[in-house]
Structure 1
Amino acid sequence: MTDTELCLICIGRTVILLLAANGAPVLARHWLKDRFSLPVDMGLTLGDGRALFGYRKTWRGIIVSVITTSLVATVLGMPALDGALFGLAAMSGDLLASFIKRRQGYAESSRVRSIDTIPESVMPALVLHAQLDLNVADILAVALTFFLIDVLLSPVLYRLNIKNRPY
């Protein structure tokens, strides 16, 4: 396979892991409300007067993401450690997106689709590209697919009262 041929199975597996990594914290927040929601940045405010990440980025979310992604990876026939690394990389991308949005002056929970989906989908795909058998075209397809799923799924989750906002 070349760098331009797509591996649909590889893309599908990666998107499933992304949905697990990013969906688990949303479901945990829905079910647990504010219980165990210790902010990653511990309320730290930087010199610009804005939070480092914000109160919505919690240790609970990271832990739930890593555990869930580990379990899903094993179901997909991958090592649990690869799943944990995937979840950690996805959450690192999510934290990077929050950091960028805070620096640009966006409020907590504001939606900037490109910033919200690209780091959290591309980072784990890059980190585990060999384990997931992804090439450059696959990674781009993963990012686009995750973006489109986010656009389509967010309003549904809002209507089901799982998300607080329709985006």
Structure 2
Amino acid sequence: MTEIREYKDSTDRMQIIELWRTVFGYETAHNEPTLTIAKKIANRDGLFFVATEGTGVIGTVMAGYDGHRGWLYAVAVHPERQRSGLGRRLVQTAEAALIAAGCMKVNLQLLASNEATAAFYKSLGYVIEPRVSMGRILHVNVPPTNLASQL
């Protein structure tokens, strides 16, 4: 049976890193899974969830809330479990936590070329908004080496 629960560092970290590398690939230092997990758990906001079956991690969702907007990040489902409704359950779990925190609107970003993922979010009621998404990497907080070798 699939359970969705909060992240537990002692049992989840390595499985999540493997899952994210399988699902997302990652090619930039600021998306390095070990760095992302370390930064998220240091925040201690309770908005990092994993889906498990037995002792295996098969899905994740991270959310963020700054008092103004909520965000979804790292919604990942193992390829063998995609199209099973698990992604929907993960998003609903994160949304429920954001609602409980008082959040009024949730945003997310994805590559414009990722049509399948856009269709998934549209099926959940998300809409493409006429916005320009801009970003800047703060290199001072992105280590130049792979953190996995340091763990």
- Length-normalised TM-score, structure 1: 0.25
Between Structure 1 and Structure 2, which shows a larger proportion of helix residues?
A: 1
- Length-normalised TM-score, structure 2: 0.27
Between Structure 1 and Structure 2, which shows a larger proportion of strand residues?
A: 2
Structure number with higher relative contact order (C-alpha < 8 Å, ≥ 6 residues apart): 1
